[in-house]
A and B are shown apart, each in its own frame.
Chain A
Amino acid sequence: MKEVNKSIPKKEGMGLSFGKPAYADDLAPQNTLVVKILRSPYAFARIKNIDTEQAEKLAGVKCVLTHKNVPRNIVTRAGQGYPEPSPHDKFVLDEYVRYIGDEIAAIAAEDEASAEAALELIKVEYEVGACTGF
């Protein structure tokens, strides 16, 4: 009981205070690619067509993923436990988007500016569906 009712300073507290490398961004190697996500502007829509040709051609762009070229695996957005008890109810990328901000495409590029520029070059045709308000 000798530790009860006593403050114990956090072991990594001083390192964190003075900004020693601790977070993913601190530890990322210099040549790490930057990933940016293209997101849906609609609450509900089907992607009729998605054209990534121009984005892929842009210098610095290494990879463009859409629902057409990722495996159709279901995933969960939770992830606290193992085995994971939360519902696996989401495809990595899907032909349908179900909220404003839902993922449409992922781009990996050598730097942030190229990734951002490539996002602009993806052409998406949507079939916008009716959205029920609650």
Chain B
Amino acid sequence: MRIILTINNINKEVEIMPGDVLYDVIKKSGVSSVKKSCGTASCGVCTVLLDGKPIPSCSYLAAKADGHNITTIEGIQAEADMVGGMMNEEGAIQCGFCTPGFLLTVIAMKRELENPTEEEMKNYLVGNLCRCSGYEGQLRAVKRYLEVSR
């Protein structure tokens, strides 16, 4: 079957199998930032924005993405540059496998929530696991980012 979607504002018309997940389509399109780890929507490394909302692309059927706009970190690099830099300064990036997905969720949170409390931040970011950093560095970076960019 054939679907039409945009990936980072570029129109794509792709042939898929009914069981293909969105991750497969994105990876085949040459995007390197989106990773796959658990394959069960548990870890968040495959996060992409679908019409601006973070979703786990490993468990989202490609067919359902027909007609939608997909954004990966490559598509919002300018917007995410500041928080990415802060993450780096705060020691929140170790192996870096989870970072692109995490940054996408942070950007979605910033667009959606106004002045979130620490609890609200943690709730919003709960789906993006990081096995290296211990989360404290990430939280410091996110708080700084929201403070500075307010």
Q: Nearest Cβ in chain A — how far from B149, in angstroms?
A: 17
Chain B residues with a Cβ under 8 A of chain A: 31-35, 72-74, 77, 80, 84-85, 87-91, 93-97, 99-100, 103
Docked pose: A14 CA to B85 CA in angstroms: 7
Q: Nearest Cβ in chain A — how far from B61, in angstroms?
A: 16
List the 9 closest A-B pairs by CB distance, nearest first: A19-B33, A16-B96, A13-B88, A17-B84, A19-B100, A13-B93, A9-B88, A21-B32, A17-B99
Q: Find A23's partner among B74, B94, B97 (CB 8 Å cutoff).
A: B97
> Which of the listed residues A16, A19, A21 has the most CB atoms from chain B within 10 Å of its own CB?
A19
Question: Does the CB pair A7–B100 fall under 8 Å?
Answer: no
A-B pair number, CB within 8 angstroms: 58
Question: Does the CB pair B93–A18 fall under 8 Å?
Answer: no
Chain A residues with a Cβ under 8 A of chain B: 7, 9-10, 12-23, 25-26
Q: Nearest Cβ in chain B — how far from A2, in angstroms?
A: 18
Question: Does the CB pair B88–A18 fall under 8 Å?
Answer: no
Question: Does the CB pair B100–A17 fall under 8 Å?
Answer: yes
Q: Nearest Cβ in chain B — how far from A111, in angstroms?
A: 11
Q: Nearest Cβ in chain B — how far from A69, in angstroms?
A: 30
**What would 13 A/B residue contacts be, using CB atoms closer than 8 Å?**
A7-B90, A10-B93, A10-B94, A12-B96, A13-B96, A16-B99, A17-B84, A17-B88, A17-B99, A18-B77, A18-B100, A19-B33, A19-B73
Docked pose: A16 CA to B90 CA in angstroms: 15
Contact A19-B31, Cβ < 8 Å, known A9-B88, A14-B84 = yes
Docked pose: A20 CA to B97 CA in angstroms: 11
> Which of the listed residues A15, A18, A22 has the most CB atoms from chain B within 10 Å of its own CB?
A18
- Residue of chain A at shortest CB distance from B31: A19
Q: Nearest Cβ in chain B — how far from A115, in angstroms?
A: 15
Q: Nearest Cβ in chain A — how far from B101, in angstroms?
A: 9
* Residues of the A chain whose Cβ atoms lie less than 8 Å from the Cβ of B97: 16, 23
Docked pose: A23 CA to B33 CA in angstroms: 10
Contact A13-B87, Cβ < 8 Å, known A18-B74, A22-B96 = yes
* Residues of the B chain whose Cβ atoms lie less than 8 Å from the Cβ of A21: 32
* Residues of the B chain whose Cβ atoms lie less than 8 Å from the Cβ of A23: 35, 97
Question: Does the CB pair A10–B84 fall under 8 Å?
Answer: no
